[in-house]
A and B are shown apart, each in its own frame.
Chain A
Amino acid sequence: MSEELLNEFPHVVKSEDGLLLVEADQIIEVCTFLKNKGFDFLEAISGADFEEYLEVIYNIASYSKPDRVMLTVRISKDNPILPTVTSLWHGANWHEREAYDMFGIKFKGHPKLARILLPDSWDGYPLLKSYPLDKEQKVELEDETGVEICQI
């Protein structure tokens, strides 16, 4: 499959360890191409922090072939914005929310980009290397009338 993809998109680079590096503005086109080729299952979207840049990894699989590709997108740390792929695979919804939760990567066009695992009041993105582990967080629970029950 990767040969086909490389022929179609000359900007996609295959690195020596087998990753398919995709430009950030091309990701929707590449994904649409794959979807049309029968890749019907988005396994995971994960993030990674490489100090100089952030990486978003898409694992996409096909039930009919069967086949699997792994796309990698590098984005800058200062402005981590990517287009969402929820329009292609609905399963991307929560994966993208998790990437946002942990790395602060914003997915443009996402239906509801909110924190998914951490409390809403969380400050910072804990899987970034710059996040101090012992950072104090304020977590509160309020009852229906807004009276604070508990606070950590």
Chain B
Amino acid sequence: MDREYVTDKIRRSMGRRILTDEEVSGWWIIGGIVTFGLLFLLLFLKLIHRRNEHFKRQKMLEEQIIELVGIDLKDKKMLADLKAIHNEGYESGEFKDLSFLRIIPAIITLGLYIEWRLTKDLMIHAERQRRFFSCYLGRELEDTTPQRPTGKYLGLGVVTLGLFGIYWTNLIIKDSNEHFKDQWKLEDLLPEAGMEIDEGVDPDFYKNIILTTVDKFLNWGRTCSVWPMAFGTACCAMEMMATFASRNDMDRYGMIFRNSPRQADVLIVAGTITQKMAPRLRRLYDQMAEPKYVIAMGACAMTGGPFVNSYSVLKGVDKVIPVDIYLPGCPPRPEALLNAFLQLQERMKEERTVTKKFERWILKDRKEVVT
């Protein structure tokens, strides 16, 4: 399951390449010359953007591959190697975005700065990436990106008062276009690349503003009306009642006790659960409507608490139901329960109900196409 999920993620990262690895045409250079360098500024911005996006995608892809190798855990040495190579990317600054403000030193140096930087970055990136994929695929891949003598070019650029930069920019465009093409070929070699990537569609398009806004709206509604179910079985229930009574007054957060699991969002397990009670607890949980959450309140609900050595006490409610928030204490104070609710609200804000539905739907759809 996990593996499939990560593989899907990898495939989607690869699918993103249509967006990030955009080919830049050589006509930009002509346009730059014609407009006496003005278009060069735009071109530089575009190149910076392209560099950032491409490196970001590469970073994501590498992380996902590492995750995948970590799940299999067959080859520990490979995992360590991949991690080491991946970390080099952080050290060399490859994974750090190049700020658009770098255009200012570029203007001052007649574009030479940005040309130098982009060339160097690309060379470092291509070299590291080649090693990464070689390690993952288990065979040496050849180095296809040409090495450019940056120092010499810089000298030439200074001597020709930046005119050499025109040629240099041309080289950069050519080199990165080549590099992208190489990388696409490389990615298709990966064992995970089995799936057709629908190149016309942004694979992340379900994360668009409409769906995420609907999600946000839903989450806002949910977080502001968390209705817990009254389920107190022991001393912790006293503190739960205190939390909802006038001093702490949970009503002001929109939290009102319901006596039926059908109307409740949260199950607060407040108190000791015996083995005889456990199936009933499970039944109550099953009767709640989705989305549902569970707070295990107190040591008893978490682990069995003071009664852990007794014959009939369930050693943690997570044996029968999934728990979202663990709240330690014997009993926890009302403030602690309040905090647990606030934490739960934070958690509920992360819900992506509609987006996930779409994602699942799309993935399912795509799989049907393949098989």
Contact = CB atoms under 8 A, between A and B. Distances in A.
A133 B276 CA distance: 16
A36 B283 CA distance: 49
Interface string A128-152: 0001011101011100000001101
B278 A135 contact: no
B311 A135 contact: yes
Interface size class of A (residues with CB under 8 A): 10 to 19
B275 A133 contact: no
A134 B310 CA distance: 8
Nearest to B275: A139
A117 interface: yes
B276 A149 contact: no
Contacts of A126: 311-312
B287 to A, nearest CB: 11
Interface size class of B (residues with CB under 8 A): 10 to 19
A69 B8 CA distance: 76
Interface string A112-127: 0000011100000010
Contacts of B314: 152
B280 to A, nearest CB: 7
Contacts of A134: 309
Interface in B252-304: 275-276, 278-280, 282-283, 286
A149 B312 contact: no
A10 B147 CA distance: 114
B319 interface: yes
B312 A118 contact: yes
B282 A141 contact: yes
Contacts of A137: 275
B208 to A, nearest CB: 40
Nearest to B319: A152
Contacts, number: 39
Contact of A149 (B279, B310, B311, B319): B279
Contact of B286 (A139, A140, A149): A149
A49 to B, nearest CB: 14
B310 A133 contact: yes
B289 to A, nearest CB: 17
Contacts of A117: 276
Interface string B309-340: 11110100001100000000000000000000
A126 B278 CA distance: 18
Contacts of B278: 139, 150, 152
A141 B276 CA distance: 10
- Of A133, A135, A152, most B-chain CB atoms within 10 Å: A152
Given A126-B312, A152-B320, A119 B283 contact: no
A133 B310 CA distance: 6
A117 B280 CA distance: 14
Contact of A119 (B275, B282, B310): B275
A110 B310 CA distance: 29
A131 B311 contact: yes
A139 B311 contact: no
Contacts of A141: 279-280, 282-283
Contacts of B309: 133-134
B318 to A, nearest CB: 12
A139 B276 contact: yes
Contacts of A131: 311
Contacts of B286: 149
A152 B311 contact: no
A137 to B, nearest CB: 6
8 contacts: A119-B276, A133-B309, A139-B276, A141-B279, A141-B282, A150-B282, A152-B275, A152-B320
Given A137-B275, A149-B283, 14 more contacts: A118-B275, A126-B312, A134-B309, A139-B278, A139-B279, A141-B279, A141-B280, A141-B282, A149-B286, A150-B279, A150-B320, A152-B278, A152-B279, A152-B314
- Top 8 A-B pairs, shortest CB-CB distance: A141-B279, A150-B282, A126-B311, A119-B276, A139-B275, A150-B279, A133-B311, A152-B278
